[in-house]
Amino acid sequence: MRDVEAYGRIIEEFITRMTSPDMGQFKLEVPTFRIILKTSQKDRPILNKLEITDDGELRNIMDDTLESLEGMSHYFSKCMEFFGSLVGDELSKDIVMRTMEEPVSEIKLSIRNPGRITGYLPRPLGDIVISAPDKKEKNGDHDELLEIVKRGCDSYLERMGEGTDLSAFKLKLGILREDHELLRGLSINKNRSFEFDSDVWSRAKDEEVRDAVVAIVNSLVGLASFLIGRTDSLKMMTSILREGFRGKEGVLDRYGLTDALLDGALHTRLSTGLPSLDGRLKGGIPKGHSILLLSQSGVERDLLLANILNKAVEEGSSILWVSSKEPAKSVRSSLRSVDLSPEDLEETERLRIVDWFSWRSERIIGVERDGYSLKSSKILSNLGIAINKSLRDLAYTNTKIAVVHIIGAATNIFDFSKVYNFIQRLRAKFKEEEMTAFFLLEPDVLSVGEEGKISEVFDGCMTISKKTSEGSDIRREITILTLEGVDFDTRPFPFEIEDNLMIDVEFVKKSGPIRPRIKTRKAKRVEGPEEDIPELEEITDSEVEELEEITDSEVEELEEELASKSIRPDFVIMEGETDSEKVRVSKKVKRKMKSEAPEAMAPVPRRKNTVLKRDSVPRKVTKRVTRKRVEGEDYSAEVETILNEAMDTIDSLLAGSDENRFGDLKAEKVIVRRRKL
């Protein structure tokens, strides 16, 4: 059960019990709750999707999003506040605890993630959810699951045919009883129907029931594998179980059967690898759907596909890639760049590539095999043959994914109507194979009318956009335009890219940063030589310090600082535009120093108007210190040489001056920019 549905049921139970005659003098009326809802809708427009009938029934068409939970929490809190204002806060909590403990405990068993909605429930309902047991502990608790399994197994044997010999299965069952005592309560009658001893099974824990059911299903699939082949037996059992558990997701979640049965074959959604986006799609993209992905070619589209493929491959999925933009070897390189191993996948028959690119530079007749991949000629019918052959080459897995990038290239060669018909047939083929397909198309390749018409072929349409706002900030978003059979959230989904990874912005806001980052702060003026040093984390000995070019404003700041320390500023070092350019202390600063610290302006034995020309400085020198991590190569010897040259230059400039007056200046760190190799 979705969290928003579970929350709705709790509100509905609250209204039903508070309006019941059993409440006596504390009884409320249904119109009261409707008035509170109408008031709350002004504050939270999302509550317009909530309606209370005259009988107190709650009609809930809200999406399973955090915004929906926040809206329902706002309404429920208003109801609790109203009841508390009538009878007092303490008494209202006691009444709610007594009346709602049983229904909330029952509802908790159907909630996939009780911890998610606990924080949105007003007290004491949140406490009830926390304290309620996660499992029922009474006889007959497993009846619903056993009934589904019995119907499924009976249907499986019926499809196998009456002449199927069950002696091998009964022998296997006898062996399994040694490891699973529950199977002693299972038998097959003369009508070839399964019978479960409810007294034996009702005393078992959920984990024991799960293991026993998995053993039964695997044994039946193993029996059928000898008769009709493993692929057909898996397909048949998967179809039966999906039909049996349709609408019973709560049962699957309770026993953990979604992942345990047939290696996750009962998963009905394909994860995008982005938790918040999966939440908006009610768990991900429905399996078997064909999606039109409108996006410019670039890192955004590549990383989204990489997220989907990596997650799917981890769960044992297989991939078909149809390319018109690059040859098979380039596709393999792209897969390697996102931590996939195309060689291993091809050897295990979990990856096949159809190359519809090479015909531009090679003479290809019909369909030609190139290792594990297939090359197709220019003709669309040959491309269809290559795709069908590749589908037959793929091993049977619970999830199949297709990435098809041909629409734009095909419309540049053939009439739109011909391409449209080909895509229609291809989408039907993928539907038959229960394959989730992503058809890639760049915007503006087709006219508005053609793009709208071809989008009707697909089960859904997604777009990826990248916009540059003021300040050069890049805003990236995924928008779901259509998705058949899913009541999805239409708001754009924001994401960021960092270190070649997609960052789920909404998920990071809720759970915090997914990895440590460099801390940065704006440089502030401080006393001492460590002025304006950016703060970094984990600075190591291998880091090299680098100078930034000094600006005019920084020259003035340095002059003022020297003046405040009663140090006579004889010169300022700066990179000049020409060899003859000279940089001296301003007359204004000199006058100020003379009036405030006349002793600092006493003459010293030195050359007047000391000048530093551009050519005399090997590298730029500045008061600002930054630190930069150097990775890969060792620059220590070169940096030491440059540093020595800079120090020699400084020493020559300071020769003959009063060492005490320039003590602070010499004590400051002199850092040099790393020379480009």
Predicted TM-score (pTM) of this structure: 0.56
- B/e letters for 75-101, b = 16+ CB within 10 Å, e = fewer, are bbebbbebbbeeeeeeebbebbeebbb
- The three-state secondary structure class of 32 is helix
Q: What pLDDT sits at residue 342?
A: 93
544 DSSP β-pair partners: 628
Instruction: State the pairing for strand pair 400-405/285-286.
Output: unpaired
Quote the tokens at residue 600: 């600092």
Which helix H or strand E contains 501, and what residues bound it? Answer: strand 501-504
Which helix H or strand E contains 324, and what residues bound it? Answer: none
User: Could you tell me the CA-to-CA distances from 490 to 277, 463, 628 in Å, in that order?
Assistant: 11, 12, 43
293 DSSP β-pair partners: 440, 462
Q: What pLDDT sits at residue 539?
A: 39
- Quote the distance between the C-alpha of residue 285 and its chain's center: 13
Separation between Cα atoms, residue 203 and residue 209, nearest integer Å: 10
SS3 content of the chain, % helix, strand, coil (to 5): 50, 15, 40
Q: What pLDDT sits at residue 327?
A: 94
Separation between Cα atoms, residue 657 and residue 600, nearest integer Å: 13
Separation between Cα atoms, residue 299 and residue 386, nearest integer Å: 28
Q: What pLDDT sits at residue 474?
A: 84
CB 568: neighbour CB atoms within 10 A? 21
Show Cβ contacts of residue 620 under 8 Å, excluding neighbours closer than 6 positions: 547, 548, 549, 550, 575, 672, 673
> Following DSSP, what letter does each residue of 341-376 receive, concatenated?
-HHHHHHTT-EEEEE-SGGGTS---SEEEETTEEEE
Separation between Cα atoms, residue 82 and residue 89, nearest integer Å: 10
| Residue reference for tokens 């009780």 | 114
| Residue reference for tokens 């043959």 | 385
Separation between Cα atoms, residue 336 and residue 330, nearest integer Å: 10
Angle at 372 between CA 371 and CA 374, to 5 degrees: 85
What 8-state DSSP symbol labels residue 615? G
Kindly give the parts of the chain with pLDDT less than 70.
Answer: 1, 108-119, 123-124, 126-141, 161-165, 470-472, 509-640, 642-643, 646, 649-677
Interval 591-615: pLDDT, tens: 655 665 555 555 544 444 444 443 4
User: Could you tell me the CA-to-CA distances from 75 to 8, 78, 479 in Å, in that order?
Assistant: 11, 5, 29
Separation between Cα atoms, residue 11 and residue 239, nearest integer Å: 36
Quote the tokens at residue 485: 């059979």
Q: What pLDDT sits at residue 552?
A: 59
Report yes or no: 543 and 630 within 8 Å, Cβ to Cβ. Answer: yes
Quote the tokens at residue 457: 């072929």
> Which domains, from first to last, does the chain contain?
3-131 (no CATH), 143-263 (no CATH), 287-485 (3.40.50.300), 544-667 (no CATH)
Separation between Cα atoms, residue 379 and residue 365, nearest integer Å: 10
Q: What pLDDT sits at residue 534?
A: 41
187 DSSP β-pair partners: 195
Nearest to 49 by CA among 109, 8, 100: 8
Which helix H or strand E contains 596, and what residues bound it? Answer: helix 587-596
Q: What pLDDT sits at residue 328?
A: 94
Sign of the alpha-carbon dihedral angle for 598, 600, 605, 607: negative
Separation between Cα atoms, residue 162 and residue 370, nearest integer Å: 46
- The three-state secondary structure class of 528 is coil
Separation between Cα atoms, residue 479 and residue 463, nearest integer Å: 5
